[in-house]
Structure 1
Amino acid sequence: MNEMNLTRRSILGGFGCACCMGMVGAAQARVTPAEVDPMIGPGHRPTDKDEQGMWQLYERAERDIADSNLLIKDPGLTRYLGGLAEKVGGPTAKDMRVYLAHIPEFNAFMAPTGFMVVFTGLLTRMRDEAQLAGVIGHEAGHFLRRHHIRGWRDTKRKSDILTVLSMGAGLGGAATGAYLGDWVRLAGMGTIFSLAAYSRHMEAEADALGLKQIARAGYDPNAMPETWEQLIGEMRATARMRRKLPRREGSLLATHPAPQSRMTDLRISAQEVRGLGTGADRGKDRYIRALGAHRKTLLEDQVKLNDPGGSLYILNSLAADGWNGLLRFYEGEVWRLRGEKGDNQRAAEAYAAAIAYPDAPPDAWRSHGYALIKMGRGDEGRRALQRYLAMAPNAPDAPMVRQTVGL
């Protein structure tokens, strides 16, 4: 395993530990939305030494994140995410900053200083704005309930925090003599985030406050339990196709366990907050418009993870609101890349279905054309390739495709 992979694992593991420590044991009693309100207001600044020291670490972490080449620096999409955080974050929302990291894992985390990092894998899986608002609302709940300093102090009581910090400072640098750039910087930040452990009760508080916040913003609160159900379904689909037990490492499922009891709590709480707002907004069209051309990149990233079970589950979940050419094309790509018996036929059928939609990407016509040629339907295949060339005349593979069609 190369150093890059090890560093990437430390990133995901560090961020994950921030929330998963202290998660074992008996189930907590449900925290009702009526029990929780924000504990901080706009412009909050630390006043005691513990919190001031913690803020200094996170302020340095934010500077590293802001300079990272792993960020997607699309002003329009960043404004959209920031606006959504402001919409569900309550009175302190104007203190929040949102960064989008190009990492195809389902994760998001919030810092006590008010910045949030969203992984692109989270956006890949969201069916609409309401579901995304639920995740952001949950993370904002940790911030608003001051869970970071509460977890930090608990960690200090249980271990020598300075030892942990000194270990984090050495990540990826002098020990290997290698410069791994942004991965190393994020790995160090993962160590910092692992210092503030969330208890089960804190997670329940974040769920309850997040539901209250999105309901007040007018979103359908049922979007929040839906998201966790989808994640559980994805984990099980991955395991079934790999014929292995479900794994949680490196994902938000690792940091936010979601057993059936938690689903039940979320559903009950969702009904309790319905009267706080209109409770009907899903924002699907707004969400798709905000992603724009990035949606193709996000789906491509997912398909390349070599997780056919999880990828197919995600595509079918997104298609619950209706199939389109982009989703059908990537369904074909999942089967093509898996390459087991019968998969080429499955891929060909998906490509053929994709081109029936007006939004089919040019790549769908190319893949459909080559699939037809393999089936002995050369004339039809070449016509499909010509359609591809008309849609993407300057594509990197256009010269090769022109040679195939005899142009």
Structure 2
Amino acid sequence: MSEILTRRTLLGGLGCACCAGLVGAADARIPPASMVPLIKHGYRPTETDEKGLWQQYERVEQEIAGSNLLIRDKALTSYLGDIAGRVGGPAAKDLRVYLAQIPEFNAFMAPTGFMVVFTGLLTRMRDEAQLSGVIAHEAGHFLRRHHIRGWRDLRRKNDILSVAAMGAGVAGGAAGVYLGDAVQLAQMGTILSLFAYSRQLEAEADAMGLKLIAEAGYDPEAMPSTWQQLIEEIEASARMRKKRPNRGYSLFATHPAPQSRMVDLRASAQEVKGGSGESARGRERYLKAIGKYRQRLLDDQVKLNDPGASLYIVENLARDGWTGLLRFYEAEIWRLRGQKGDAERAAQGYAAAVALPDAPPEAWRNHGYAELKAGRREQGKAALGRYLAMAPKASDAAMVRYSLAQ
């Protein structure tokens, strides 16, 4: 019976993929027009080492498909699959997308055509164009056969590795099975090497991705803007903690955040954009697709206890307009941090949230308690009453009714 993926295993083993996919820079920019897919629909490997690689990742996909970390919402996964279909190039029909509930910015592409997107990625995206850029970058790794190219490069550097050893590590990592120290070392080293692409391959995936989203009608500026947001998030997290930027964060696990890559992405975006006029951003479609999950996504992020990063994410999303939900989580960040003055900031945030028509029930509850604490009894009771009217079956409804009775 197959083992279930654990959160720790997925983060520690396969979760390094997108950090490899979004770090590093080529010594020379690769023009998107020069990128040609190396595979097409229905591709199957013919060489022995690539066949072995595919066999092992077919096992990995079976494990992932049975994971209790996956969000099994047909509408949402279908939406992600549709985007992959638009930006997946000639092999788009071969792509499969899984969504894992892990609040980290991450996604990874396997050599067999399946992709795993982490919910933390969806939390940060402002629109469909930004999401399409990440998916297209991952599709670029698949179309340019980066996995086998990376594996062969690794073999040239260390000829004692074999497909069998790699397979044991990858499959063992996916299943969460302890296979012994030697295989564990092979597992970690091999997986990291396979996903931590060279600068050349990363530049290819960037160029390929930009070409794909431009051809699909998305604004190619979405890719450099996503990269810029991530750099700013890391810096915001460090400032709040009064520390240097944390290079151990998954995004920058293998490389620093080079400004040179930003320069390359912006230059390439202008190149593929040309004079074609306005391109799609798809913000309304994106918000509709993630609508019922957005509160859960923000809740997962805020509970990571990284107030600097969380505050940056909320404020960045609010560049498209403040909502009651965003104001509520802005207030929650201050409340949970709990330092001097934060209670007052939180109270102001709850008041701002309930002034907007889409404030969640929890905003009314917390606003009510803040009003009671400030001595405004009637306003507090009214807010708590509004909460009970909006969420009569909430788990804390009885406690709130007791508070009103007192």
Q: Same fold (TM over 0.5)?
A: yes
Match of 2:365 in 1: 366
- In structure 1, the partner of 2:231 is 232
1:112-261 equivalences under 5 Å are 112-159=111-158, 160-162=160-162, 163=165, 166=168, 173-174=177-178, 193-196=191-194, 197-254=196-253, 258-261=257-260
Rounded to whole Å, the distance in 1 between the matches of 2:268 and 2:178 is: 49
Is contact 1:77-1:290 (8 Å) kept?
A: yes
Larger deviation, residues 208-217 vs 253-262: 253-262
Letter in 2 for 1:79: S
1:158 Cα shift?
A: 2.0
Q: How far 1:18 moved relative to its partner?
A: 8.3
Distance between the aligned counterparts of 1:27 and 1:283, measured in 2? 30
More deviation in 151-160 or 354-363?
151-160
CA contact (8 A) 1:82 1:97 kept: yes
In structure 2, relative to structure 1, the CA distance for the partners of 1:91 and 1:20 (3 Å cut) is closer
| Cross-structure match for 2:16 | 16
Cα distance in 1 for partners of 2:309, 2:55 equals: 39
Superposed, which structure 2 residues align to 1:287-298 within 5 Å?
Answer: 287-298=286-297
Q: Aligned-residue CA RMSD in angstroms?
A: 2.5
Provide the rounded CA distance (Å) in 1 between the counterparts of 2:140 and 2:17: 18
Residues 292-347 of structure 1, C-alpha deviation per residue, up to 9 Å, x if partnerless? 21000000000000000000000010000000000000001000000000000000
Q: Is the 8 A contact 2:350 2:366 kept in 1?
A: yes
Q: What is the CA deviation profile of residues 23-46 of structure 1, one whole-angstrom value per residue up to 9, with x for unaligned ones?
A: 88x951001111111111110000
Question: Deviation at 1:280?
Answer: 1.6
Tell me how far apart the structure 2 counterparts of residues 205 and 88 of structure 1 sit (CA, whole Å).
15
Deviation string, structure 1 residues 211-235 (Cα, Å, up to 9, x no partner): 0100111111101000000000000
Counterpart of 1:355 in structure 2 is 354
Change in Cα spacing, 1:189 to 1:374, as seen in structure 2 (3 Å) is farther
Q: Does 1:327 align with 2:300?
A: no
Distance in 1, Cα, partners of 2:29 & 2:335: 45
Deviations 1:154-212 (A, max 9, x none): 11222333455555666654579xxxxxxxxxx99977643414110100010011001
Check the 8 A contact 1:18/1:194 in 2, yes or no: no
Deviations 1:68-113 (A, max 9, x none): 0000000000000000000111121000000000110000010111
Contact kept? 1:221, 1:279, Cα under 8 Å: no
What is the Cα deviation at residue 246 of structure 1? 1.1
Q: Which runs of 5+ in 1 are unaligned?
A: 1-5, 177-186
Deviation at 1:259, TM superposition (A): 1.4
In structure 1, give the amino acid aligned to 2:70.
Answer: L
Q: What is the distance in 2 between the residues matched to 1:387 and 1:316?
A: 27
Aligned mates of 2:80, 2:252 — CA distance in 1: 22
How big is the shift at 1:12?
Answer: 3.4
Equivalent residue, structure 2, for 1:69: 68
For residues 266 and 381 of structure 1, the distance between their equivalents in structure 2, rounded to whole angstroms, comes to: 51
Cα 1:239/1:192, change in 2 over 3 Å: same
Per the normalisation by structure 2, the TM-score is: 0.90
Residue 98 of structure 2 aligns to a residue in which SS?
strand
Contact 1:168 1:191 in 2 (8 A): no
Contact 2:19 2:252 in 1 (8 A): no
Long gaps (5+) in structure 2: 1-5
1:88/1:378 CA distance change after superposition, 3 Å = same
* Deviation, structure 1 residue 7: 7.0
Cα shift readout 1:240-261 (whole Å, capped 9, x = no counterpart) = 1111111133523436754111
Contact 1:219 1:277 in 2 (8 A): no
Equivalence for 1:52: 51
Aligned residue pair count: 390
**Residues 27 and 272 (structure 1 numbering): CA distance in 2 closer, same or farther, change over 3 Å?**
closer
Residue 303 of structure 1 aligns with an amino acid whose one-letter code is V
- SS state of the match for residue 253, structure 2? helix
Identity %: 63
Amino acid at match of 1:314: I
